[in-house]
Amino acid sequence: MRNKLRLLADQRFAKTRSSNATEAQGFVFDTARTLMRRSDLFEPAHPKDKERYGDTPFGRDMLLGKKMIEAGVTFVKVNSYGWDTHGDNFNGHASLMPRFDQAFASLVTDLYESGMLAHVLVIAMSEFGRTPRINGHVGRDHWPEAWSIAMTGRGIRRGAVIGKTNNLGTFVDSDEHDIGAFFHTWFHALGIDSKHEEYVNDGQPLPIAHDDMAPIRELLE
C-alpha cells in the first residue's frame, strides 16, 4: 500500500519535472525493493566462509560483496577504513594488512574457482599513497606522487607489473599513468567503448573517461 501511494506521488511529481530527475528517483526506490527481495544475501555467513574471509568488518563486507556478485549485481564497492596512519604506522599496518590480504585473497580465489573471475574485474585501490619517509610521530602522511593499484579478472593480463618508482620510492621512474588512463583501461577490459560520450544538461557532452587519455595496453590481455 505504501509503495502504491509513493507511485501516485511520483506520477504527480513527474508532471512538472524533467524525466531525468524523476527516472533517477524511481530507480532508487526500485533498487531498494529489489534488494529487499534478496534479504537472504544478508543472512549470517557459513562459519567456514567467515573463517576464510576473516571475522572482521572488512572480511564480512568482502564476503557480502562476493554474494552480491554471485546474485548478479554488476558493480560492488567495499570500503576498508583506518589506513590514515599519520602516527604509529607500523602497528597500524600490522593489524590492517593481514585483514585485507586474507579477505582479498579469498575473494579472488572464490571467483577463480567458480569461473567468475573471467567475467568480473577486481580492483584494489586507494585515494593516494603514503610518504616514503616516516614522520616524527612514527607515521606516514599523504603522498599523491606515486602509489599502487592491484587488478585481476576480466581483460587483465595476469602477472603484469607496470611502472616503478625511483630507489627512494618518492616519484614514478617510468611512464606515469593518471586515473583517466585507468578508467579507459577498465572500460576496455569490460568491453565498454571508453570513448563514449553521455549528454547531460541539455546536450553538454560528457566523456565517460578522460578524452585526452587512452587505455594502458600493457595491462590488457
Q: Is residue 2 part of a domain?
A: yes
For residue 177, what are the contacts with CB-CB under 8 A and spacing of at least 6?
162, 163, 216
Predicted confidence at residue 9, as pLDDT, reads: 81
In a domain, 190, yes or no: no
Q: What is the pLDDT of residue 44?
A: 87
With respect to residue 9, please indicate whether it lies within any of the assigned structural domains: yes
Residue 142, φ and ψ in degrees, nearest 5? -70, 140
Q: Decide if 106 is inside a domain.
A: no
Between CA 153 and CA 215 the distance in angstroms is 16
Question: Cell numbers of 10, please?
Answer: 511520483
Residues of the chain with pLDDT under 50: none
3-class secondary structure per residue, 114-164:
HCHHHCCEEEECCCCEECCCCCCCCCCCEECCCCCCEEEECCECCCCCCCC
Cα angle: 10, vertex 16, 17; to 5 degrees: 75
- Is residue 4 in some structural domain? yes
pLDDT value at residue 62: 97
> pTM of the prediction?
0.85
In a domain, 19, yes or no: yes
The pLDDT assigned to 2 comes to 81
Q: How many domains does the chain have?
A: 1
Q: What pLDDT was estimated at residue 14?
A: 80
Residue 127 within a domain: no
Residue pLDDT, tens place only, 162-221: 999 999 999 999 889 989 999 999 999 999 999 998 877 777 888 999 989 999 999 999
The verdict on residue 25 lying in a domain is yes
First to last CA, the chain: 51
The sign of the dihedral angle between the CA atoms of 54, 58, 64, 69 is negative
Q: Containing domain of residue 32, as a range? A: 1-37
Closest CA to 93 of 65, 45, 126, 61: 126
At residue 168's C-alpha, the angle toward residues 164 and 171, to 5°, is 50
pLDDT at 54: 96
Write down the pLDDT at residue 126.
Answer: 93
